[in-house]
Amino acid sequence: MSFKHCLLAASVAVMWGLNFLAIDLSLAQFPPFFLVALRFALLAVPALLFVPKPDVGLRWIIGYGLGFGLLQFLFLYWAMAAGMPAGLASLVLQASGPFTVLLGMTFLRERVRGSQMTFLLVAMAGLAVVGWQRFDSNASFLPFLLTLAGAFGWAIGNICNRQSHSTEPIKLTMWMSVIPPLPMLALSLAVEGPNRVGASFTGLTTPTGLLALAGLIYTVVIATILGSGIWSWLMSRNPAGVVAPFSMLVPVVGMSAAFVFFGERVSLGELCGAALVIIGVLGAGLKAAKGARILAAAEVAVPVSAQAEDSDAGDSIKAS
């Protein structure tokens, strides 16, 4: 992986880390469920008008949209609106990694190496530490659980994305965005009510309203279109195991930026838990990449050996 590609991967991590601050700014103006509908509607309209449908099964587009789009952000926005700090949200959402592995083992019969499972257990232990630190009251523990539910939704989306075997990740991302708007709008009208939704459009010219709009634009344009586009481009040109670990910079950026701009502080226990999560997810990712390289090398070696045997057999026949 070239130095230029490393810089691009790090820049995406920065974009995604700052995205949690942008979400927090938008939630100061818009109710959470409606904000999810609004976010994806801004992506769905241009997708339907200008982006050709990717060549994948419709069920995988729907599954990806329901998991990655609807469930992840429904619970993430709900958690942040209920008091989950932006920095910690960027960390706890990394539980999607272990959840994805567990779902792959359960439904796809994917094999996990013992060393990889050890690192996953370290990451889960880190999440348990963070959860224990948030267990001082329901007001702080409930948002933690909601964020975990968002991470599980992301994992479901990962499995559907993987099963789609798409060679057009940008198109798939755009078309995935078509799924969440209408269900989320219906949920918003039922739970948050038309009055609250309508009231969120008043005061958009105030500092709070302008920051909320800026946060929404950042989430749609910078974090989703630009960030995901660069990430997909890097994934198509480099081994996944080399690119993926850069995502562990996301909670580092998110927690640091939340401290600088919002004054968010975390306890020593939460910092220890964060370190375990980062070490666990990063280690599991590297072990998975190593296992994939070994498997690929074995698959290449088998045909070569078979060809050699066939060649030897042919020579023997000719000699006889």
The per-residue pLDDT for range 64-114, each reduced to its tens digit, is: 999 999 999 999 999 999 999 998 899 889 888 788 888 888 887 777 777
Model confidence, pTM: 0.84
| CA-CA-CA-CA torsion sign (57, 13, 234, 290) | negative
Q: Which amino acid is at 40?
A: F
The total number of residues written for the chain in this structure? 320
The angle subtended at Cα 109 by Cα 107 and Cα 115, nearest 5°, is 115
Q: Are 215 and 25 in contact (CB under 8 A)?
A: yes
| Res 195: pLDDT | 96
Q: How far is CA 137 from CA 93, 133, 148, 307, in A?
A: 20, 10, 17, 66
Res. 309: pLDDT tops 60: no
Q: Decide: residue 14, CB within 10 A, 0-12 exposed, 13-18 middle, 19+ buried.
A: middle
Q: Alpha-carbon distance 15 to 43, whole Å? A: 18
Of the chain, the end-to-end C-alpha distance in Å amounts to 51
State mean pLDDT over 171-176: 91
Residue 150: the pLDDT is 95
CA–CA gap between residue 231 and residue 72 (Å, rounded):
19
Q: Which amino acid is at 170?
A: I
Q: Which residue has the tokens 């789609």?
A: 164
In angstroms, the Cα distances linking 19 to 59, 77, 90, 119, 260 are 29, 12, 9, 27, 15
Query: 3-state SS string over 82-141?
Result: CCCCHHHHHHHHHHHHHHHHHHHHHHCCCCCCHHHHHHHHHHHHHHHHHHHHCCCCHHHH
Q: What tens digit of pLDDT does each residue of 3-57 get?
A: 788 888 889 889 999 999 999 999 999 999 999 999 999 999 999 999 999 999 9
- More reliable by pLDDT, 173 or 180: 180
- Angle between helix axes 72-81 and 32-50 (nearest 10 degrees) is 150
- Gap between the Cα atoms of 47 and 68, Å rounded: 17
What backbone phi and psi angles, to 5 degrees, belong to 241? -70, -20
Tokens of residue 141, six digits = 């523990």
Please give the pLDDT value at position 305.
52
Q: Average pLDDT for residues 239-243, to the nearest whole number?
A: 61
Which contiguous run of DSSP H or E holds residue 184? Answer: helix 181-191
Q: Where are the domains of the chain?
A: 3-319
Give tens-digit pLDDT for 268-302: 888 888 888 888 877 776 666 665 556 556 655 55
State both tokens at 104.
């792959």
